[in-house]
Amino acid sequence: MIVAIDGPAGSGKSSLSRALAKSTDFVYLDTGAMYRALTLYCLENGINVHSQSSVEQAAQDIDVRFGDAVASEDPELGQNVFLNGKEVTRDIRTSQIDENVSIVALYPGVRSAMVARQRSFANQRNIIAEGRDIGTAVFPEAEIKIFLSADAQQRALRRTIEREGGDPTKPGAAVKDEQLYEKIYADMLQRDAIDEERTESPLKPASDAIHLDTTHLTLDQAVDKVRSLIIQKTASL
């Protein structure tokens, strides 16, 4: 079975997907990490992210692999990610990567290379895949499709707390650095616009996706909702 979890940055995809994978026998797939790893490769190797042909070539050249299905207790780090054999789990979560990743993810040759890897990762397993185009382009046949949303300020708050080493799913978690919050908020709006407006697999709900607004939901509430959908679906197959 495939569970597709799509939505914008900070909507709670990663926390939800990780928690679901932990409490079921589903394997977690963080597709954003693949685009992030490619972005890191470009930045480290002097490849101009605005040069479509160079970035598309890089997408063919790199080797991106995942380690354990759920690797880390750190809320921002989902899976151990390896780029050409080197662990980059933490290196792909920086503002510099945030600023460039949506550009890299625009190119059709990048998307086709990543989608091929994502499909081969699934390989008949039960997976929870999170991203932007999972229900529309990567696994349109997914048995369950969830589209998460949350208001932009709430999403930026969550992302800032994570980046400061906190856990936004814990009660009382708060932002320490207001300037960082402002930067993350502005970058997030810019990234949302690029992701939503691109012609190739834009961020949009699949027609058969279930919408879940997480602005006022705790992680446990979101997990319970999706877990009951999985249980219902499994019973009906």
Summarize as ranges the residues that interact with ligand DC (CB under 6 A). 9, 31-32, 35-36, 101-102, 105, 131-133, 191, 195
Tokens of 148: 């998460």
**Of 54, 172, 165, which Cα lies nearest the Cα of 110?**
54
8 A C-beta contact, residue 10 and residue 188: yes
Nearest distance from residue 162's CB to ligand DC, in Å?
11
Specify the residue, 77 or 175, whose C-beta has the smaller distance to ligand DC.
77
Task: Report the amino acid identity of residue 34.
Answer: M
Specify the residue, 26 or 35, whose C-beta has the smaller distance to ligand DC.
35
**Of 12, 138, 143, which Cα lies nearest the Cα of 78?**
12
Tokens of 88: 């980059």
Nearest distance from residue 232's CB to ligand DC, in Å?
26
Nearest distance from residue 223's CB to ligand DC, in Å?
18
Specify the residue, 116 or 231, whose C-beta has the smaller distance to ligand DC.
116
Which residues touch 92 (CB under 8 Å, ≥6 apart)? 33, 36, 37, 39, 40, 81
Nearest distance from residue 136's CB to ligand DC, in Å?
10
Burial (CB count within 10 angstroms: exposed 0-12, middle 13-18, buried 19+), residue 220 = exposed
Specify the residue, 24 or 39, whose C-beta has the smaller distance to ligand DC.
39
Nearest distance from residue 235's CB to ligand DC, in Å?
29
Specify the residue, 37 or 230, whose C-beta has the smaller distance to ligand DC.
37
